[in-house]
């Protein structure tokens, strides 16, 4: 955990006071809605179909148990008893009253939380690997860099009114679990031949109506230059990004129109002016931030304690969950546990206040008081002793977050869709629920293996449909909901955008189509171990297209 000090706390409190004043001026009519809009947006407050929505930042997806309890409290006191975890590792509440927003924010501020820059044309929450600090394949903890960047861009005087929003992700592991290449700016740590570490800088990724994967503009950036280089990218974008058309305002369009090379040249020219200035990160500054990440006082344990094997033999349910939801930890005797927020019949990413409180208690008991949020909209307990897994499983199962479907077909990423969102063209949640119902049989899900279904209710692509192994995009045709299906998208280190398989299908046929695609895969795969997405890559989409449209 990063520990807030007096500086961090003061800033959050001052921000709440400022927002309280802004809400008062809006309620009195001193501010027009047009003037209030960017102010509320920069505090994570949207106006949705039915009510205001409050999005709360969870920097790089790390939560303490006290913070999770406060999220439960806000859900209970100001909302309808639940919250929705998002693909940007944040949480949002969909039923907040404007007049109560300052109080909700003050409550969040009491545990160092806020909605700053979770919306608006500024730098958004910095995201990273939800296994940061515990993954066996990482070079170092990416959150130190995410925190340095978070502080640097918080209330940044120059970058609060950019052409459009700006999303940054940081990765330091061999495997990309943070969907780096779909970010406006992504940093990936590498170790070079001399054993030095430095960041690969990628820019111009993003989904929406014009999807692009980020392009590398600097293969190896020295760590001391991270902030100055990020500043140069942001300044170049702020000055030259398009402001004439909201759909062409993201940095991906600028990078595309200028070309990555020309863009990199602009950035470099700006960077030369500032790289040796106040933003140069001397090691003491990095160490100061790194020193405020507290790590658990792990016990000296060994991997695979005998009681674990016995418990697996004794209970098939536990064994299935172990095989699906538990991953290797970098410390011997510990494990990383994923809590599925995708139960059959549920809304992907939703958690009730009761569940959040219970998970906070379990984190205290079994995970050194720490919880993570992943971009797949699941939660993680990052430091669980392997010997505690049977007891933890029973407790998680009791509150409905132990469905062993992590990374399987029913572990669906979904935006809120037309049920909540004023931008949506079509519903997302009921589509996700119907697919989960069709694949109710967990043996079938396991046989299908890793299969990411991502659903967006409109072209803005909050459900990351372009990078779903199966992507589903809701569109509107003559007042009716239709869905485009793409195959072969990936958000990992081999990121790819999915290919459209054919004409959009109506709402009530989407789950049938997914079943057809799954059946086609089972026939087409070379062997049971060949992942769905690898089969698609090998065969192309043609055999899937034939199968889906043969009877339609």
Least distance to another protein, CB of residue 49, Å? 24
- Between CA 226 and CA 188 the distance in angstroms is 11
Tell whether residue 398 is a contact of another protein (CB under 8 A).
no
Contact region with another protein (CB under 8 A), list: 128-136, 179-187, 274-282, 448-456: 274-282
In the set 192, 210, 239, 422, which binds another protein (CB under 8 A)? 239
Tell whether residue 29 is a contact of another protein (CB under 8 A).
no
Least distance to another protein, CB of residue 161, Å? 3
Tell whether residue 288 is a contact of another protein (CB under 8 A).
yes
Q: Which two tokens stand for residue 396?
A: 């998680």
Residues 341-380 interacting with another protein (rule: CB under 8 A): 369
Tell whether residue 47 is a contact of another protein (CB under 8 A).
no
Tell whether residue 4 is a contact of another protein (CB under 8 A).
yes
Q: Which two tokens stand for residue 422?
A: 């004023």
The residue (of 4 and 220) whose beta carbon lies closer to another protein is: 4
Tell whether residue 58 is a contact of another protein (CB under 8 A).
no
Tell whether residue 30 is a contact of another protein (CB under 8 A).
yes
B/e letters for 253-282, b = 16+ CB within 10 Å, e = fewer, are bbbbebebeebbebbeebbeebbeeebebe
The residue (of 16 and 180) whose beta carbon lies closer to another protein is: 16
The residue (of 250 and 375) whose beta carbon lies closer to another protein is: 250
Least distance to another protein, CB of residue 122, Å? 9
Tell whether residue 284 is a contact of another protein (CB under 8 A).
yes
Least distance to another protein, CB of residue 155, Å? 7
Which residues on neighbouring strands pair with residue 352, listed in sequence order? 82
Tell whether residue 135 is a contact of another protein (CB under 8 A).
no
Selection from 52, 70, 51, 69 nearest residue 12 by Cα: 70
Q: Are 254 and 245 in contact (CB under 8 A)?
A: no
Q: How far is CA 114 from the centre of its chain?
A: 17
Tell whether residue 480 is a contact of another protein (CB under 8 A).
no
What burial class does residue 509 get, using C-beta atoms within 10 Å of its C-beta: 0-12 exposed, 13-18 middle, 19+ buried?
A: middle
Residues 502-521 interacting with another protein (rule: CB under 8 A): none
Tell whether residue 522 is a contact of another protein (CB under 8 A).
no
The residue (of 279 and 485) whose beta carbon lies closer to another protein is: 279
Least distance to another protein, CB of residue 143, Å? 15
DSSP string, 268-281: HHHHHHHTTSTT--
Residues whose CB falls within 8 Å of the CB of residue 110, separated by 6 or more in sequence, listed in order: 70
Backbone angles phi, psi at 196, to 5 degrees: -85, 150
The residue (of 182 and 363) whose beta carbon lies closer to another protein is: 363
Residues whose CB falls within 8 Å of the CB of residue 416, separated by 6 or more in sequence, listed in order: 84, 94, 424, 428, 429, 457, 462
- Between CA 511 and CA 517 the distance in angstroms is 10
Around Cβ 371, how many Cβ atoms within 10 Å?
Answer: 25
Selection from 376, 413, 397, 385 nearest residue 131 by Cα: 376
Number of chain residues interacting with another protein (CB under 8 A): 53
Rounded CA Rg of the chain: 23
Residues 533-552 interacting with another protein (rule: CB under 8 A): none
In the set 29, 193, 277, 306, which binds another protein (CB under 8 A)? 277
Least distance to another protein, CB of residue 34, Å? 10
Site string for another protein, 140-159 (x = CB under 8 A): -----------xxxxxxxxx
Q: Which residue has the tokens 């449909």?
A: 465
- Between CA 118 and CA 44 the distance in angstroms is 5
Tell whether residue 10 is a contact of another protein (CB under 8 A).
yes
Q: Which two tokens stand for residue 543?
A: 């055999």
Summarize as ranges the residues that interact with another protein (CB under 8 A): 1, 3-8, 10-11, 14-15, 17-18, 22, 30, 35, 38-39, 64, 66-67, 111-112, 121, 151-162, 235, 238-239, 243, 273-274, 277-279, 284-285, 288-289, 291-292, 294, 369
């Amino acid at each position: 955990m990063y520990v807030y000090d007096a500086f961090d706390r003061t800033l959050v409190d001052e921000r709440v006071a400022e927002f309280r004043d802004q809400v008062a001026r809006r309620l009195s009519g001193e501010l027009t809605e047009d003037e209030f809009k960017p102010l509320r947006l920069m505090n994570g407050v949207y106006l949705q179909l039915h009510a205001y929505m409050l999005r709360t930042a969870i920097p790089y997806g790390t939560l303490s148990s006290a913070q999770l309890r406060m999220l439960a409290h806000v859900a209970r006191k100001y909302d309808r008893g639940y919250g929705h975890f998002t693909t940007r590792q944040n949480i949002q509440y969909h039923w907040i009253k404007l007049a109560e927003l300052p109080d909700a924010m003050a409550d969040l501020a009491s545990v160092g939380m806020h909605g700053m820059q979770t919306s608006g044309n500024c730098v958004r929450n910095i995201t990273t690997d939800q296994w940061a600090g515990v993954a066996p394949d990482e070079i170092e903890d990416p959150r130190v860099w995410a925190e340095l960047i978070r502080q640097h861009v918080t209330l940044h005087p120059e970058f609060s009114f950019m052409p459009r929003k700006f999303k940054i992700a940081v990765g330091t592991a061999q495997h990309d679990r943070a969907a780096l290449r779909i970010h406006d700016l992504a940093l990936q740590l590498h170790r070079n031949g001399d054993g030095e570490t430095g960041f690969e800088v990628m820019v111009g990724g993003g989904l929406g109506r014009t999807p692009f994967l980020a392009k590398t503009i600097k293969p190896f950036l020295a760590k001391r230059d991270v902030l100055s280089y990020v500043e140069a990218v942001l300044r170049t974008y702020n000055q030259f990004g398009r402001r004439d058309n909201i759909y062409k305002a993201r940095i991906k369009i600028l990078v595309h129109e200028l070309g990555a090379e020309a863009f990199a040249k602009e950035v470099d020219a700006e960077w030369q002016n500032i790289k040796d200035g106040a933003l140069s990160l001397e090691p003491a500054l990095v160490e100061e931030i790194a020193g405020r990440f507290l790590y658990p006082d792990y016990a000296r344990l060994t991997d695979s304690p005998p009681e674990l094997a016995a418990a697996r033999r004794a209970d098939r349910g536990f064994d299935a969950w172990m095989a699906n939801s538990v991953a290797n930890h970098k410390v011997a005797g510990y494990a990383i546990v994923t809590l599925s927020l995708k139960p059959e019949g549920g809304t992907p990413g939703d958690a009730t206040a009761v569940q959040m409180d219970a998970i906070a208690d379990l984190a205290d008991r079994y995970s050194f008081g720490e919880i993570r949020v992943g971009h797949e909209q699941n939660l993680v307990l990052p430091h669980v002793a392997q010997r505690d897994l049977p007891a933890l499983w029973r407790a998680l199962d009791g509150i409905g977050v132990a469905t062993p479907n992590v990374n399987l077909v029913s572990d669906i990423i979904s935006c809120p869709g037309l049920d909540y969102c004023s931008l949506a063209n079509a519903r997302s949640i009921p589509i996700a629920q119907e697919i989960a119902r069709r694949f109710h049989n967990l043996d079938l899900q396991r046989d299908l293996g890793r299969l990411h279904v991502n659903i967006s209710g409109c072209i803005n692509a909050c459900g990351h449909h372009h990078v779903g192994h199966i992507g589903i995009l809701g569109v509107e045709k003559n007042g009716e909901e239709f869905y485009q299906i793409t195959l072969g998208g990936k958000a990992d280190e081999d990121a790819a955008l999915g290919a459209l398989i054919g004409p959009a299908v109506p709402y009530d046929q989407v789950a049938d189509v997914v079943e057809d695609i799954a059946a086609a895969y089972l026939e087409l795969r070379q062997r049971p171990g060949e992942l769905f997405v690898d089969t698609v890559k090998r065969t192309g989409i043609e055999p899937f297209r034939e199968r889906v449209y043969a009877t339609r």
